[in-house]
A and B are shown apart, each in its own frame.
Chain A
Amino acid sequence: MAENGFLKVSRRGVLAGGVASATVGQASILRAQDTAPGSAAKEAKVPVRLTVNGTPQELELDSRTTLLDTLREHLKLTGSKKGCDHGQCGACTVMVNGTRINSCLSLAVQHQGDEITTIEGLGSPEDLHPMQAAFVEHDGYQCGYCTPGQICSAVAVLEEIRNGVPSHVTEDLTGRMRATEMEMRERMSGNICRCGAYSNIAEAMAQVAKG
């Protein structure tokens, strides 16, 4: 374990040296830490407790670990996808305490005690979530890479409309929110599909919204 940490720290030292011209002050701080590999490794590791799809998890993670990498690399829940890794594509969308976020733009350490729901927690091949079943029925995907994020987002969008969260296309901000096609399209704009399955995704969502 200590040896592992030392190797990681050494590699970081090399990386820091490579771009030292950009941030001289901070690179030297990193090198100062790197001279004491044991303590630096311990400092950077943080305990993280969260619940994923109903199962409590206790992990020891590098502080840099995103929620997405925690799910995929440490918990082997590879349904959530890494598309752009910069919050632009939505393939990593998961729900945190019932609210959808980009798991690539969140650190695991920010989520102590949080309840995470991924595509694996929504349904299973034997027991599909209604949104999953609707995506199948309406052919709401082609290659499927963006689909877990699309489905998590779609489920959360209908919940947001039920909770009265307005959107950019909502005409009457004080009235009841309705799951119109225009509303659902606007609210899904953070999920990109390069295959262009949008119209079928909208049909799947409309079916679930009708109930």
Chain B
Amino acid sequence: MRSFTYERAASPAEAAKAVATTQGAKFIAGGTNLIDLMKLEIETPTHLVDVQDLGLDQVEDTEDGGLRIGTFVSNTALSAHPRVREDYAVLTRAIQAGASGQLRNKATTGGNLLQRTRCAYFYDTNMPCNKRKPGDGCAAIDGFSRQLGVIGTSDSCIATYPGDMAVAMRALDAVVETVKPDGTARAIPAADFHRLWGDTPHIETALEPGEIITHVRLPAPVGGQHFYHKVRDRRSYAYALVSVAAVIQPDGTGRVAFGGVAPKPWRSEAADAQLPNGAAAVVRTAFADARPTEQNAFKIPLAERTLAGILADAQTGTRS
């Protein structure tokens, strides 16, 4: 691990300014992803700004009946919050499908949104990777790509966003609240938060340099039955091959977002509209522009079958 200096910021604006004005600076929240990457020298910050003293560790009710989640709320605390369990069960299910108990206790809401890809070629510093080193090339495209993306990828990068929590947040139309280094706040819809890789796979989110996540806002509950089904190589503590977050209403309409397949949680309104027509229709629409490799083409039928399982459970009222 490279040497770094460390400070604790006292306000979001102060933290944002510190990161924006210090070359090589990064925020640290839980650190479960960042410290791992620092040990591998994939991340080499020269200065860390710790956000644990910003008072952003609460979940509050909002006036419109929704929730406002502080960026430092742990994955465990968020998933166990009574209102999340009651009104946003897809979020509890998604969080509990990810990582291990130890990691969920330390990982935070904002940090989890910024979790970097788990592409093995990104982790292997002996391999070329456009995300790790822009212009370096991509060893994954012609490599072992079974785990990697099938849609929203580019000729520069076929990595996926690896998280679970954000897939549920996308299905819930969450909004990411931020503060910029000049102190101004803005709200970024979950749909626009993660970027597609294009020619710049090292730029992963809509955040500007130094811009800090302060909260994630959930709109008022939408009712319905909530599901998060995750398919992986073992039953626990593994990244998704495919995951599906869905909220299904009694009339068969609803919303669905897919994880493990793209640079961001994958959802489209056109695909949502196909829900009453069944899983095949939804997946045909959602994955119309898919560009899978030979090794990961299975993810598309797997997504369809996973969603079909959810729709069958919704009809019988299983695990609502």
| Candidate in A107, A109, A153 with the most chain B CB atoms within 10 angstroms | A107
**Are the C-beta atoms of A26 and B44 separated by less than 8 Å?**
yes
**Are the C-beta atoms of A30 and B101 separated by less than 8 Å?**
no
Q: Looking at the complex, which one of A12, A25, A165 makes contact with B3 (CB distance below 8 Å)? A: A12
B interface size (C-beta, 8 A): 45
Would you give the 0/1 interface string for B198-240, flagging 1 where the beta carbon is closer than 8 Å to chain A? 0000000000000000000000000000000000000111000
Closest A-B pairs by Cβ, 3 of them:
A190-B100, A189-B236, A189-B237
Question: A105-B32, A105-B36, A110-B50 in contact; A29/B24 too (CB < 8 A)?
Answer: yes
Q: Looking at the complex, which one of B35, B44, B96, B106 makes contact with A170 (CB distance below 8 Å)? A: B96
Which residues of chain A have C-beta atoms less than 8 A from B97's C-beta? Answer: 168
Question: A85-B39, A110-B28, A167-B96 in contact; A153/B3 too (CB < 8 A)?
Answer: no
Which residues of chain A have C-beta atoms less than 8 A from B52's C-beta? Answer: 110
A interface size (C-beta, 8 A): 53
Which residues of chain B have C-beta atoms less than 8 A from A22's C-beta? Answer: 41, 125, 133
**Are the C-beta atoms of A93 and B3 separated by less than 8 Å?**
no
Would you give the 0/1 interface string for A155-193, flagging 1 where the beta carbon is closer than 8 Å to chain B? 011001001111110110110000000000011111100
**A residues engaging B (CB < 8 A)?**
9, 12, 16, 19, 22-23, 25-26, 29-30, 33, 40, 43-44, 46, 62-64, 66, 85-87, 90, 93, 99-102, 105-107, 109-110, 153, 156-157, 160, 163-168, 170-171, 173-174, 186-191
Which residues of chain A have C-beta atoms less than 8 A from B96's C-beta? Answer: 166-168, 170
Interface pairs (26), CB distance under 8 Å:
A19-B41, A22-B41, A22-B133, A29-B46, A30-B3, A33-B3, A44-B5, A64-B3, A64-B38, A100-B102, A101-B106, A102-B102, A105-B36, A106-B35, A110-B31, A110-B50, A110-B52, A153-B101, A153-B102, A163-B80, A164-B80, A166-B79, A166-B80, A186-B235, A189-B100, A190-B101
Counting residue pairs across A and B whose Cβ atoms lie within 8 Å, the total is 131
C-alpha spacing A168/B232, complex, angstroms? 13
Which residues of chain A have C-beta atoms less than 8 A from B100's C-beta? Answer: 87, 90, 189-191
C-alpha spacing A29/B85, complex, angstroms? 47
Which residues of chain A have C-beta atoms less than 8 A from B236's C-beta? Answer: 168, 186, 189
**Are the C-beta atoms of A26 and B102 separated by less than 8 Å?**
no
| Candidate in A19, A93, A101, A164 with the most chain B CB atoms within 10 angstroms | A101
- For the complex formed, measure the closest distance between the CB of A169 and the CB atoms of chain B, giving whole angstroms: 9
